[in-house]
Amino acid sequence: MKKLLFLLIAGSLFAVNSSAQIKTYPYSYDLYQQINAELYSPDSNLHTSIKPVMLGDAVSLRLLDSITEMEHDSVRRSWVYRKLFQEHLVEMKKEDYSLSLDFLPDFQIGRDVEHHRTTWLNTRGFQVQGNIGKTVSFYTSAYENQSVFPQYMNTFINSRSIIPGLVNDKFGPARNTKDWAWASALINYTPNKHFSFTLGQDKNFIGDGYRSMLLSDVAANYPFLKVVTTLGNVKYVNIWAQFQDLNSPQLSYENGYRKKWGVFHYLDWNVNKRLSLGFFESVIWQSGDDTGRRGFDLSYITPIIFLRTVEGYNGSPDNALLGFNGKYKFAKNLTAYGQFMLDEFTASEFFSRSGYWANKYGVQVGLRSFDVFKVKNLSLLGEFNTARPYTYSSRSSLLNYGHYNQPLAHPFGANFREMLGIVNYSYGKFRVSLQGNHATYGLDPTGENFGKDILLSYNTRQGNYGNEIGQGIQTTFNYLDGRVSWLVNPKTNLRVEAGAVYRKEANSVFSDKTTWFTFGLRSSFRNIYQDF
């Protein structure tokens, strides 16, 4: 594994060729939404379920470039004007390389009405991106942050000791003001049209929806090596990653939090320009235990192999999952998509409808529509997601499908049903979005496990039979999020943004409502989820 990483880095640093300048774009739902009408057009044959877009996806990158290259008037502007509204802060463009540097502010003020909390966010960040010839692109960013969150997010942070999707809170529940720093880095090497190698400390997303039941970007960044192979209409993705578990006792021979490893295979086949079929498999295994260090298991290094078979060959010590992703373009502006994830399955118990605990699976069904009612840049998304109790969990937290105290798939974990809708509209530099979520799920009474929290061992389950979605404390969740923004600088996605959130979580034990208004100057290319 170390030799492979060394060869990748060495090849990346010394590959220089002359070509047009290409950037690396981290995955952002709002940013990518602006090019989806072309990505999902029946005239295109692109692999839309693999995100973020990397150097080898030339068409997708050209579409993303078009967003940041908005037309400007012909009037000669001052240096200050250009840097604020049109250009990168620092930019170098040569025949065989490019480099840009930007300051990324994210300042927000708000009010959580019901909990009488004035919220604010003070983020100072930077990003560096560029390319070397036509084979190498790179991206890195870092942020220093302080914030007071609305009450529901503050409760989550105090209970999990993490800022959602980011990193741990430096000072814990003792301080109302949260403080954290986080960074991302990606280097991509694409020697030809068939192979692409990415080494990163970042996230991955597999799917065509807003959520993913296979692999999403909900949890914190993690180190990974990704190899993408393209052969005609087939794209094959291999990811080897290292995750962290904050709950298991530390071992004398490991520094910091306990480690676990993951390997992911995803084959995406564009049967034709309308139909795509994707096949997914993954294995999670712990790095070591009290008996000794296991580390990276070389039996999982072979990229072309059935992981479930190898996991069984190893004596079934690990957590294996299988999945499917598909989409079909019904019309120029309408695409259906879906996912199925299988954690464990016992056929005799499944067909008996007995609620057997080990029949663990998740489902997604959705529709995307673009230029709705012939209104340019008006898009709609409707999606349904569900997962049975105890799905994604395992016998220990070092084997569950999670990282840094959050799921690697849906943010609700398991034992839920969710329906959501998203409307996006853009006109010039104005952006409008409206999102609504409705979900039902079963929370756990103190000291019990009804299957929603994937971090808990499934050995603490309530019983083997009679397990149904929503068991436990039956809870209703409603969420509305509306935002209006004006784009200041497309190079950094710098925008003035006003937003409002309504959230209500209610059951027989408690009812919590949040009305949260925000206003700020924001700059980011990230998905920071707050709809949970």
pLDDT tens, residue by residue, 168-226: 888 878 789 999 999 999 999 989 888 999 999 999 999 999 999 999 999 999 999 99
pLDDT of residue 206: 96
Classify residue 380 as exposed, middle or buried by CB count within 10 Å of its CB (0-12, 13-18, 19+): middle
Per the structure, the count of domains in the chain is 1
Let me know if residue 155 belongs to a domain.
no
pLDDT of residue 344: 84
User: Looking at residues 31-45, what average pLDDT do you find?
Assistant: 83
pTM for this model (two decimals): 0.88
Let me know if residue 92 belongs to a domain.
yes
Is the pLDDT reported for residue 521 higher than 60? yes
Q: What is the pLDDT of residues 423-474, one digit of tens each?
A: 999 998 999 999 999 999 999 998 899 999 999 999 999 889 989 999 999 9
Whether the bond into 191 is cis, omega within 30 of 0: no
pLDDT of residue 70: 60
Q: What are phi and psi of 470, to 5 degrees?
A: 100, 0
pLDDT of residue 19: 38
Let me know if residue 451 belongs to a domain.
yes
443 lies in which domain range?
2-132+161-195+202-233+249-522
Tell me the C-alpha distance between 181 and 356, whole Å: 43
Is the pLDDT reported for residue 6 higher than 50? no
Let me know if residue 461 belongs to a domain.
yes
Tell me the C-alpha distance between 205 and 50, whole Å: 6
Let me know if residue 147 belongs to a domain.
no
| Helices and strands, counts by H and E, the chain | 8, 25
Contacts of 509 (CB under 8 A, 6+ apart): 473
Let me know if residue 66 belongs to a domain.
yes
Work out the percent of the chain whose per-residue pLDDT is above 90. 57
Whether the bond into 52 is cis, omega within 30 of 0: yes
Tell me the C-alpha distance between 127 and 138, whole Å: 11
Question: Mean pLDDT, the chain, as a whole number?
Answer: 86
Classified as helix, coil or strand, 309 is: helix
Confidence grade of residue 350 (pLDDT, cut at 50, 70, 90): confident
Residue 445 or 60, more confident = 445
Tokens of residue 289, six digits: 């235990």
DSSP letter for each residue of 42-93? TT----TTEES--TT-HHHHHHHHHHHS----SS---HHHHHHHTS-SEEEE
Enumerate the β-bridge partners of residue 425: 378, 432
Q: What are phi and psi of 372, to 5 degrees?
A: -65, 140
Let me know if residue 502 belongs to a domain.
yes
Tell me the C-alpha distance between 76 and 64, whole Å: 26
Let me know if residue 214 belongs to a domain.
yes
Enumerate the β-bridge partners of residue 218: none
Tokens of residue 351, six digits: 């067909």
Half-sphere exposure of 487 (CA within 13 A, CB side): 20
- Dihedral sign for Cα 57, 59, 64, 65, please: positive
pLDDT of residue 5: 41
CATH number, domain with residue 225: 2.40.160
